[in-house]
Structure 1
Amino acid sequence: MSHPHPELSSPPPLGKGALRVVALGGLGEIGRNMTVFEYGGRLLIVDCGVLFPEEEQPGVDLILPDFDHIRDRLDDIEAIVLTHGHEDHIGGVPFLLRERPDIPLVGSKLTLALITAKLGEHRIKPETVLVEEGQRQDFGPFDLEFFSVNHSIPDALAVGIRTPGGSVLHTGDFKMDQLPLDGRLTDLAGFSRFGDEGVDLLLSDSTNAEQPGFVVSERDLNEDIEKVFRTADKRIVVACFASHVHRVQQVIDAASQHGRKIAFVGRSMVRNMNIARDLGYLSIPGDTIIDVKQLDKMRPNEAVLICTGSQGEPMSALSRMASRDHQIRIEEGDTILLASSLIPGNENSVNRVINGLTRWGANIVHKGNALVHVSGHASAGELLYILNMVRPRNFMPVHGEWRHMRAHAELAKKTGVSDDRIVIAEDGVVVDVYKNRAKIVGAVQAGYVYVDGSSVGDVTDAALKDRRILGEEGFISVVLAVDSNTGKILGEPEIHTRGAGLKPDAFDDVIDKLQDALDKAASDGVNDPHQLRQLVRRNAGRWVNETYRRRPMIIPVLVEV
């Protein structure tokens, strides 16, 4: 999928004293976050994430930002700043480092540990720069300052970017939990101080801009989570994001209080929790964790499983449990705790998993019937606080779908930011900051790059269209034998079909139609293989559409004899 901008031409060369901002992902979508800043011929990248595919992208594993805009300027990149360790912010890093492995990765302790482990699977050893909140460090012409922000993963950071061409505050993903489980508050004083200097452009998380008020504190979940443990008399299976260390800590605390042992299930969950424990972000009593192989030896009311699959991912542990394709079998009376929010677009997959688990007699506890999850993103009340504290000269909503960014822009207007200083861009739109004003100056290509197995970028939108047709309508193949010397058709066409829902005896009519069309083509002297294939495709396609109101893929096959 590309994001064309017919009204925008390619941007002009960056003027002297101007700061350029180009989002290659994360605008108009939840995921694929990547923003490129340019000043004085040098580049700084903030985040490099992935987007997860939807049903209309069959066979795709991941969706990357399009690196074409920077591909011939990789040596100009000073660093990649990673605001936190979620996949939609770090998942694309291995693919960019394949093209230049020594780009410095800048981030907090947990973020760098997570990306280093991921890069190890790609056999890449990164160059890392550890930073902490309150720290200030130069990378070429970019003077960076880091601020702590509260999010659904520890160690998240916002970044202030000072350049001679202007200053930018990029909030990353954040919320303003006033009683965070780790005691690490969003640095409102730092934001205010940075705002006092004069912020030329604020880029702020828009995910919950439509939600009024303030996000509920993580601590408020303890009561309902404890209730699940108090009332469950068999196994408890908790599904959450593999990066949600805070939620896992709450489950560990409740399990320890009720004398239950915990088994982590799923490769990413085991890896991330080991990293979090080793770095001191997760506190686990010494005898609490057991290997999943020990579950069979324990009574059901002694065990808790923490696994992936809260979004209904087909190959996740929870989905496989629901379909009875996992070593752990859900039994009558087990409790399933879905401790995460629902990412838009995953509703059908999650409902399918819930129905599958319910079929085996499980009790399902989720956000809809208990307070077992809160968002990691700021609601409208918190976003207004940031706008009023920073008082930006220009504002650009990021990290959200169109409705989220529009809602965030309306909030900015209410705080006094004028219409002509609010930039609602989308992926690929080029924004220049010059003399304290932000202005759209053009657009670059910023389409989807699909990862399918080991293939990166080879799958096109046309290929995905073919996959959708095959998945929805099936195919009909028409095999023709052709005389290799004369080019004439030998015998009548042979038809095969898969997934089109047609019986073999249905082909009698179309074989006669094809034979007549081929005979006419032969009498007209048509023997070019391409023309013959097109003739077969048109006639077979017209027949099946008129007869059955279906549009399967028609595959003509010419065999030279």
Structure 2
Amino acid sequence: MADAKLQIIPLGGLGEFGMNCLAIRYKDDIIVIDAGLMFPESELLGVDIVVPDITYLVENREHVRGIVLTHGHEDHIGGLPWILSELNVPVYGTEFTLAYVEGKLEEHKLLDDTELIEIAPGSKFSLGPFTIEPIRVTHSLVDCVALAIDTPVGVIVHTGDFKIDLSPPDSKAFDLHKFAEYGQRGVLALLQDSTNVDRPGYTPSEWSVKPRLDELFSRTKKKLFFSCFSSSIYRIRIAIDLAHTHGRKVAIVGRSMVESSEIAQDLGYLEVPPGIIIHPGQIADYDPEEVMILISGTQGEPMSALSRAAVDNHKHARILPGDTVVLSSRVIPGNEKSIFRVIDHLYRRDAHVIFDDGASGLIHVSGHASQEEQRLMINLLRPKFFIPVHGDYRHLKKHAEMAQNMGVVDLALVIENGDVLELDQDDARKTGKITAGRVCIDSGSTADVVEDLVIRDRRHLSEDGFVLPILTINKLSGKVERLPEIVSRGFVGADQELMEAARNVVSQTLENSSDEEKADYGVIKEKIRIDLKRYIQKNTSRRPLIMPVILEI
């Protein structure tokens, strides 16, 4: 099989933000890079999380050698419990990433059954025919890696999420030299993060937020509430350092913030000055100007600590007039409503609110590479083939055009979830499609999968409501004992006259049905549903969900 080709098969993250998951196959060996989730759009009513459809991996379970993680953000590790409940394969990740994964698997009672294997930048390991070298990259989270994968057809590099920060707060800089080495050796294909392809120039370093935050700390007279993503360890570190400099104690509030800061301290990513951390219950023991509250909930999540504090519903974190609240994070598209609702509540409490509105100075920087950094990576690696990953279709398309126009790569290809891209030393082309898509899950359980039909029904109910015709049938004689009752909820136009007419429609349907049809509840329910639907649609132009109920007496 000298002519065997390498297959790259995205299962999520290409054509959307989040749910990053990509399979790489050579003959009978498959490795999976990342296993993310995404949070649902508003039209996915009642759905808690969305994960990739892994039908392809389940069908080829005996070939899957392992899942390799680039870093610990939810859009790269959040789908693991779902995937591992279907496939029992080892999971590879850096020390910090696996610390996050452990907590997630423990929550889903999968930790004891899963083999977690720690990897480190510069230490190669093999999975089947693949030799993988993690390479240190910088991002908004710590301990992140890109993956250089040596395959039988050539080297492919997957950047993961990255920006080029040569002086990050933990002094573990982006490893430009290692990428340059691979560029010298020759790279067959580069899969590069497209998130910020719309942004010209360079993404600023994490340190660049410090001057503006320092200014805010120095002029805040009362309590200071500081909120950022709980995984933004660099930002937490800068905030704690500034609190120490300005003589404030730090109370950490919110489960995710407490967990993240504990993991970061245990692994040495967060050095906390002795005596600075206080229990949230001690906040009231200090003068307002002596306290900073590090609080989770930047995206306005309904039950987060910040959302509860904003409506005076938190046991320890009370926001009073004159307090300052700093939201050091970006607004994730889709979360605008909930974030601005929280900001409104904060203003009602006469708090000073500082958020990333473009006018407040630099209080947040992105964790993703802008155009010049993307170009720099392409020039360093000089790949033969270029494949953009992570982003909506327009981002992938723009990124591919940018790479092609540089004149460095032979061919830039846009692929989407489910496409099968086949590569060898000379050629790269799409050769087919596999089953891919999204699986909606309620309440975070790996069991509660929400079918498309359920979401359609929920949408239907939310738009037109429902109507319940209730019939009482004598079990022995098969006769209808009384006039049908009609109950409706959320159905506009359900006036007395219409309901009366609807009862007559149901009675008429029953009269026109034979005894045999009446005895078959499935048939009679469907006849009533069709006749009532036709009548209501004709008279109101609405289509409520109609669910006939038969009571036996």
Range into which the TM-score falls when normalised by the shorter chain: over 0.9
Question: 1:538 is matched by which residue type in structure 2?
Answer: I
Instruction: Give the whole-Å Cα distance in 2 for the aligned partners of 1:499 and 1:167.
Output: 59
Aligned to 1:7: none
What SS class does the counterpart of residue 512 from structure 2 fall into? helix
What SS class does the counterpart of residue 551 from structure 1 fall into? coil
My pick for the range that moved more, 254-263 or 466-475, is 466-475
Residues 1:312 and 2:300 are matched in the alignment: yes
Deviations 1:504-524 (A, max 9, x none): 635223223333343334599
Question: 1:357 is matched by which residue type in structure 2?
Answer: L
- Aligned-pair distance for 1:151? 0.2
Residues 1:105 and 2:91 are matched in the alignment: yes
Deviations 1:507-550 (A, max 9, x none): 22322333334333459966643343233333444454455554
Counterpart mapping for 1:108-507 below 5 A:
108-123=94-109, 124-125=111-112, 126-327=114-315, 328-368=317-357, 369-370=359-360, 371-416=362-407, 421-453=411-443, 454-456=445-447, 458-485=449-476, 487-500=478-491, 505=496, 507=499
Instruction: Give the whole-Å Cα distance in 2 for the aligned partners of 1:274 and 1:127.
Output: 23
- Aligned-pair distance for 1:170? 0.1
Instruction: Give the whole-Å Cα distance in 1 for the aligned partners of 2:245 and 2:381.
Output: 43
What SS class does the counterpart of residue 491 from structure 1 fall into? coil
> Are the counterparts in 1 of residues 34 and 76 from structure 2 also a CA contact under 8 Å?
yes
Residues 1:508 and 2:500 are matched in the alignment: yes
Deviations 1:342-387 (A, max 9, x none): 2222222212222222222222111113211011001111111111
Question: 2:454 is matched by which residue type in structure 1?
Answer: A
Question: 1:230 is matched by which residue type in structure 2?
Answer: S
Question: 1:463 is matched by which residue type in structure 2?
Answer: V
> Are the counterparts in 2 of residues 166 and 433 from structure 1 also a CA contact under 8 Å?
no
Aligned to 1:64: 51
Question: 1:136 is matched by which residue type in structure 2?
Answer: K
Distance change (3 Å), C-alpha of 1:502 and 1:362: farther
Instruction: Give the whole-Å Cα distance in 2 for the aligned partners of 1:548 and 1:291.
Output: 60
Instruction: Give the whole-Å Cα distance in 2 for the aligned partners of 1:308 and 1:502.
Output: 44
Instruction: Give the whole-Å Cα distance in 2 for the aligned partners of 1:25 and 1:455.
Output: 18
Aligned to 1:5: none
Q: Normalising by the residue count of structure 2, what TM-score does the alignment of the two structures yield?
A: 0.93
- Aligned-pair distance for 1:326? 2.7
> Are the counterparts in 2 of residues 18 and 166 from structure 1 also a CA contact under 8 Å?
no
Distance change (3 Å), C-alpha of 1:467 and 1:322: farther
- Aligned-pair distance for 1:496? 1.6
Distance change (3 Å), C-alpha of 1:542 and 1:417: farther
Residues 1:95 and 2:82 are matched in the alignment: yes
> Are the counterparts in 2 of residues 82 and 90 from structure 1 also a CA contact under 8 Å?
yes
Instruction: Give the whole-Å Cα distance in 1 for the aligned partners of 2:543 and 2:342.
Output: 31
Q: Cα RMSD between the aligned structures? A: 2.3
Percent identity over paired residues? 39
My pick for the range that moved more, 529-538 or 284-293, is 529-538
Deviations 1:142-184 (A, max 9, x none): 1111211110001110000111123210000000123322222
> Are the counterparts in 2 of residues 200 and 436 from structure 1 also a CA contact under 8 Å?
no
Deviations 1:67-93 (A, max 9, x none): 211114334322221111111111122
Instruction: Give the whole-Å Cα distance in 1 for the aligned partners of 2:517 and 2:195.
Output: 63
Instruction: Give the whole-Å Cα distance in 1 for the aligned partners of 2:217 and 2:460.
Output: 47
Residues 1:28 and 2:19 are matched in the alignment: no
Question: 1:225 is matched by which residue type in structure 2?
Answer: L
- Aligned-pair distance for 1:325? 3.5
Distance change (3 Å), C-alpha of 1:113 and 1:407: same
My pick for the range that moved more, 295-304 or 30-39, is 295-304
Instruction: Give the whole-Å Cα distance in 2 for the aligned partners of 1:544 and 1:359.
Output: 45
Instruction: Give the whole-Å Cα distance in 1 for the aligned partners of 2:293 and 2:541.
Output: 49
Question: 1:351 is matched by which residue type in structure 2?
Answer: F
- Aligned-pair distance for 1:465? 1.6
> Are the counterparts in 2 of residues 39 and 165 from structure 1 also a CA contact under 8 Å?
no
> Are the counterparts in 1 of residues 82 and 446 from structure 2 also a CA contact under 8 Å?
no
Q: Normalising by the residue count of structure 1, what TM-score does the alignment of the two structures yield?
A: 0.91
- Aligned-pair distance for 1:202? 0.8
Instruction: Give the whole-Å Cα distance in 1 for the aligned partners of 2:541 and 2:351.
Output: 42
- Aligned-pair distance for 1:266? 1.7
My pick for the range that moved more, 272-281 or 477-486, is 477-486
Aligned to 1:6: none
Aligned to 1:43: 30
Question: 2:355 is matched by which residue type in structure 1?
Answer: H
Distance change (3 Å), C-alpha of 1:303 and 1:539: farther
| Matched residues, number | 546
Question: 2:527 is matched by which residue type in structure 1?
Answer: L
- Aligned-pair distance for 1:414? 1.4
Question: 1:422 is matched by which residue type in structure 2?
Answer: A
